[in-house]
Amino acid sequence: MSITRALPVVVLACAATLAGARDPDVKLPDIGSSAAALATSQELRDYGAAMLHQLRAHELVLDDPLLDDYIKALGYRLVAASDRPDLGYTFFIMRSEDINAFAAPGGYVAVNAGLITAMQSEDELAGVMAHEISHVQQQHILRGFEDQQKMSIPIMLGMLGVMIASAGRGDDAAPAALVAGTSLMQQRQINFTRGEEAEADRVGIQILARAGFDPNAMAGAFQALQRVMRVNGVDVPEFLLTHPLDTRRIAESRARAAQLGCPGTPQLATRSAAPMASRGGTLDLSLPEQDSAAANSIRPPGSARADACAPRRDDKGYFDLMRERVRVLSAGSAPAIRGYYADNLRNDPSFDTPANRYGYALALLRTHQPQTAVEQLEPLATTRPDSVALRLALARARDRAGERKAALAAYEQLNLDFPGNRAVILDYAEVLLTQGNEADARRALDLLRPQLDRHADDPDLQASFGRASQLAGDSVRAAEAYAEAAWLNGHAEDALSQLKALSRREDLSYYQRSRIDARITLLTATVLEQRKRGEQVERRDWQ
Ligand SMILES: [Zn+2]
């Protein structure tokens, strides 16, 4: 967990352990002796959700269904092996090059794109995530408030309210309170105690081992970060600012890992208690494109070593693909990232791997060269028909290259081979909806509708469902879905005004009207609460 300097909103996300303003003027809710009394778990989840929506409004979230499914599957696999699989978690990827990850209130765990591309294996990425999950599980965030920082949660919620209120005013300037609060937090870079960091390492390593990952990967991740630090010279990865590394910490991680040995069968003692997502839906705990890899890597007795375990069989391939996907989708400049792949492929034979070819093809799609992307992807997808990522990229490239018929056939086959896959369905629906005819829109609706139950909090899914509804002639359902997308994208006031306009229509059925009114009531309450807190914070004297 750490501070990110550039953007106030990111600091807010980390504020749980940072904010410590003392001001007797702020009226706090009845405070019990325990930090938990400062905010209910529902309030914390609301905070986490509002934070995620605000991050989206600032285009800081990397929303991509393949990556989202990947990071969630990885996260939930670790959560299932934790001592508290019942805690609600939400994992997401930040569109940031800073090498960082953090846990925020309400079980929201963010992993930066820069961290993912710095990792050499899925086990290392899992190591960092297990560390953050441990901060949540061990209640370090709440414990921080129990110290001298009882103001933290109300202030944090209040500052979020300031942002939401200012977003509603269309006021771009960062409110004074926010600026003041940000510098205040930066002065108080206390974060977790060293003891808590050590505990998160220890608990995290246990989670790693139980989930069937290499327990050495925690130390491996630390060393990967050190390598990046050396390559970049003075640029200390953000994560290390708050997770100072010394040889002792790495040695301790190694020693602990040695006691646990190499991964055998995952010890998911608590697997029956399925972890919950913060919002609805059943979760598939298996990683995409991964068989029981851990079970396949049981080593003969005596072969476990302290410093390394054999790489787990084929999940490495999928991590490598997803890492390149993150690299391309989070890159600021499309031509620059295409140049990165083109140059390396030309000059370095060892760079020519399927994952890097995949990255190159995705970069070509970003620079509008779909035909070249097809040429790159065809041989890859032919050798890996089991890879949804490769085949999906090829289908998209064909569509962009004007081969609509071939693309539609490819999506139809993908939908048969990977039923219910959100990434397949969203791409397929997008192609169906481009021509704007009603029959295709109805087909898209049939595909999208079951996804709404599982992924109601996906703004792209809501927007796509809205467009399909519109083309299919259901303008009410379309408006509802568009409002939902606005809400999830951090435009709360827009969402409300859209819903209110909708409720004024006279042709609504009784059922439609009650559904819309109920949603208005719920969102209004949330927005008012956030505004009220924002006003409290804005009135404060920040000197
Ligand atoms: Zn930590």
- Say yes or no to pLDDT of 4 above 70: no
> CA 403 to CA 256: how far, in whole Å?
55
Q: Which domains does the chain have, with CATH numbers?
A: 3-18+35-260 (no CATH), 316-538 (1.25.40.10)
The pLDDT of residue 231: 62
How far apart are the CA of 283 and the centre of ligand 1, in A? Answer: 26
How far apart are the CA of 249 and the centre of ligand 1, in A? Answer: 12
Question: Mean per-residue pLDDT for 51-73?
Answer: 91
Assign 172 a pLDDT band (cuts: 50, 70, 90): very low
Let me know: does 211 contact 270? Beta carbons within 8 Å: no
- Say yes or no to pLDDT of 265 above 70: no
Neighbours of 102 (CB within 10 A): 25
Q: What's the N-to-C CA distance of the chain in angstroms? A: 27
Q: Which amino acid is at 37?
A: A
Query: Dihedrals φ, ψ of 533, to 5°?
Result: -65, -35
The pLDDT of residue 47: 77
- List, as one string, the DSSP characters of 329-348: HH-S-HHHHHHHHHHHHHH-
> CA 463 to CA 191: how far, in whole Å?
38
Assign 237 a pLDDT band (cuts: 50, 70, 90): low
Q: What is the pLDDT of residues 411-421, one digit of tens each?
A: 999 999 999 99
How far apart are the CA of 313 and the centre of ligand 1, in A? Answer: 29
| Alpha-carbon dihedral 356, 361, 362, 363, rounded to 10 degrees | 90
The pLDDT of residue 271: 36
- Greatest mean pLDDT among 96-100, 284-288, 463-467 lies in 463-467
| Range list of H helices, 418-474 | 422-434, 438-454, 459-471
How far apart are the CA of 147 and the centre of ligand 1, in A? Answer: 18
How far apart are the CA of 284 and the centre of ligand 1, in A? Answer: 27
| CA-based torsion, 154, 155, 159, 165: positive or negative | positive
- List, as one string, the DSSP characters of 117-180: HH-SSHHHHHHHHHHHHHHHHTTHHHHHHHTT-TTHHHHHHHHHHHHHHHHHHT--SPPHHHHH
Tell me the CB-side half-sphere exposure of residue 346, using CA atoms within 13 A.
6
Let me know: does 507 contact 524? Beta carbons within 8 Å: no
11-to-14, 178, 389 alpha-carbon distances in Å: 5, 10, 33
Let me know: does 64 contact 389? Beta carbons within 8 Å: no
Encoded tokens for 268? 């998911």
Question: Mean per-residue pLDDT for 237-246?
Answer: 60
Helix (H) or strand (E) run with residue 90 in it = strand 90-94
Give helix 41-57 / helix 152-169 axis angle, nearest 10°.
Answer: 40
How far apart are the CA of 197 and the centre of ligand 1, in A? Answer: 5
How far apart are the CA of 135 and the centre of ligand 1, in A? Answer: 7
Neighbours of 540 (CB within 10 A): 17
The pLDDT of residue 125: 95
Q: Which amino acid is at 235?
A: D
Neighbours of 523 (CB within 10 A): 18
Q: What is the pLDDT of residues 91-132, one digit of tens each?
A: 999 998 888 888 877 888 999 999 999 999 999 999 999 999
Longest dimension (CA), the chain: 76
Percent of the chain exceeding pLDDT 70 equals 68
How far apart are the CA of 122 and the centre of ligand 1, in A? Answer: 19
Let me know: does 90 contact 146? Beta carbons within 8 Å: no
Q: What is the pLDDT of residues 370-387, one digit of tens each?
A: 999 999 999 999 999 999
The pLDDT of residue 316: 53
How far apart are the CA of 186 and the centre of ligand 1, in A? Answer: 17
Neighbours of 476 (CB within 10 A): 17
Encoded tokens for 279? 């919002």
How far apart are the CA of 163 and the centre of ligand 1, in A? Answer: 27
> CA 394 to CA 362: how far, in whole Å?
10
How far apart are the CA of 194 and the centre of ligand 1, in A? Answer: 9
Encoded tokens for 304? 């476990």
The pLDDT of residue 295: 34
> CA 16 to CA 190: how far, in whole Å?
11
Assign 289 a pLDDT band (cuts: 50, 70, 90): very low
Percent of the chain exceeding pLDDT 90 equals 49
Radius of gyration of the chain (CA): 24
How far apart are the CA of 132 and the centre of ligand 1, in A? Answer: 6
Quote the mean pLDDT of the chain.
77
> CA 305 to CA 313: how far, in whole Å?
18
Placement of tokens 């765990």 in the chain: 109
**pTM for this structure?**
0.79
